[in-house]
Chain A
Amino acid sequence: MKWIKLTTLGLIVATLYGLLFFNEQEVIRLCKLGGWGFLFPVIVAFVFSIFHGAFTSLFWDALGVKANARDEDD
């Protein structure tokens, strides 16, 4: 189950980065808009952090790099 979740999140993250770089010119144009265009980088950064943050957490967990149980129980 853990590996399915990890793979799914990995694919979502890869898709997000793919979209960002395959549409590079449009991304640059939107970044330079200014004004309320600030919402674009803010929203994209939030979305990336949610999926990529969840992916990296599971990634280290899958590799056996886990927090010390003593502190987790605090």
Chain B
Amino acid sequence: MDTSSLNFIDLSVANIVFLLFVGFVGGLVSGFIGSGGAFVLTPAMMSMGVPGIVAVASNICHKFPKALVGAWKRHKYGHLDLKLGIILGLSAEFGMLYGANLQQDIKARFGDVGSNLYVSVAFVIVLAIVGSWVMYDAWSLYRRRAAEHAEPTARLAKWVHGIRWLGPRFYSHGAKAHIPWLITLPIGFATGMLAATIAVGGFIGVPAMHYVLGLPSMMASATELVIAFIMGLGGTIKYGWSGFVDLRLAMIILAGSLFGIQLGAIGTTYVKPFMVKVVMGSIMVMVLVSRGFIIPVYLSELGWISPIAEGSAKLLRQVSFWIMVAALVGGAAIVLGALIRGMRARPT
């Protein structure tokens, strides 16, 4: 594709301030739950007139340095399982490439609307299953008044740790157990594929590391940053090779998000483990509702259901977008609230 015709927009001060703010809030959430801060950035940039592919490419370009800084910060708090992160990151890279190709095929066959519908349905299915489970688990931990810094290892994870017939295993210091290599492949692949589809691979990666591999949720959210770094670097190379990365946009978002990610990482040291699940589950459920509002619009545009009036479609789009913004801001507010409460309670 000839990139010379691509519109790299003129940046106004209002645009810059807006991107700095969204970057900060997104970084705050990512530093806390390992990912999840980037999904409003692509639509936010597109609303400023940035072409879709440039928005996706610039978003990915800001993610890998942000994830690097976040991972380093969480490593200092002892939250990181670097070996597992690298192992999952490599298979995630393949998942991302496969997911991106699948997206292109769907777009070629069904056009932009078909591609948007695919993304929204993927959001709804994944978030409905994983989001409701994460919320349920957080609620039951809260009700049982689980010990402040102890989390029971999930039954599935205990079973995985006991598997000896599935080929070679490696030791994960996060899980404090041996894990078969083959188990990590589908998890990494699915994480990468989801990242290519909805820009938030962590919605699979973090719960899978916790419930399937047995990492404490705090370590799962930190290790996800390693996966995000590897995927982000691969994605930047892929899109940069085609000349789609608008470095100005990426660096503005990075400016805001690095302030946020440091704060989010500090926030994790003040909360009980179930809070990571509460924030992640809440965001997932709200994004699920947001995508639920937009699906009828795409179905109508594809002619698969009776047409929806233009005014109603516009309203549904706006409701969907603002619920997504509320999910991010709400998540950020919980993180900030927890941080402020924790710091006030800290003995001086």
Contact = CB atoms under 8 A, between A and B. Distances in A.
B262 A56 contact: yes
B269 A42 contact: no
Contacts of B165: none
A59 to B, nearest CB: 7
Nearest to B27: A56
B233 interface: yes
Interface string A30-66: 1111110111111011101100110011011000011
Contacts of A37: 240, 243
B77 A74 contact: yes
Nearest to B232: A45
B187 interface: no
Contacts of B68: 46, 49, 53
B251 A20 contact: yes
Contacts of A2: none
Contacts of A32: 3-4, 6, 8, 243
Contacts, number: 120
B38 interface: no
A46 to B, nearest CB: 6
B240 A41 contact: yes
A31 B159 CA distance: 49
Contacts of B268: 71
A45 B6 contact: no
A52 B8 contact: no
Interface of A: 17, 20-21, 24, 27-28, 30-35, 37-42, 44-46, 48-49, 52-53, 56-57, 59-60, 65-68, 70-72, 74
Top 5 A-B pairs, shortest CB-CB distance: A38-B240, A49-B65, A34-B243, A53-B69, A71-B269
Nearest to A36: B241
A48 B251 contact: yes
Interface in B256-276: 258-259, 262-263, 265-266, 268-270
Interface string B235-261: 011011111011110110011001100
A46 B65 contact: yes
Contact of A45 (B61, B241, B243): B61
A60 B245 CA distance: 30
A21 B326 CA distance: 31
Contact of B259 (A17, A20, A49, A59): A59
Interface in B22-65: 61-62, 64-65
B343 interface: yes
B182 to A, nearest CB: 31
Contacts of A35: 241
B8 A60 contact: no
B142 interface: no
A17 B251 contact: yes
B65 A48 contact: yes
Given A42-B236, A53-B258, A66-B266, A27 B69 contact: no
